[in-house]
Amino acid sequence: MQIRLYGTQGCHLCDEARAMLEQTGAAYTYFDIIDDDALFARYGMQIPVIMRTDGAELGWPFDIFALARFLECH
């Protein structure tokens, strides 16, 4: 399963989401929304957002338990 994390530098919530992903052992790719106008328009006020391969998204707020359930449902 391919996981994407949408966030931006200096976002402490994004850092928390990254740490939770690392705790779960999930491999993920990080996308900085500041580098892409379309991503910024879509996620600018919602980051961090985690997306699964099937397109399902988990937006903040979430905890490690919600993240684990989200990653299991694919």
pLDDT tens per residue, range 7-65: 999 999 999 999 999 999 999 999 999 999 999 999 999 999 999 999 999 999 999 99
Rounded distance between C-alpha atoms, residue 72 and residue 70, angstroms: 5
With vertex at residue 44, the alpha carbon angle to CA 38 and CA 47, rounded to the nearest 5 degrees, is 120
Report residue 12 as tokens: 């402490």
> Is the domain covering 3-72 a CATH 3.40.50.300 domain?
no
Band of residue 74 on the pLDDT scale cut at 50, 70, 90: low
The pTM assigned to this predicted structure is: 0.92
**Would you state the pLDDT for residue 73?**
82
Round to whole Å and give the CA distance between 1 and 53: 6
In the sheet that 49-51 helps form, which strands lie side by side, from edge to edge? 28-32, 3-7, 49-51, 57-59
**Domain locations in the chain?**
3-72
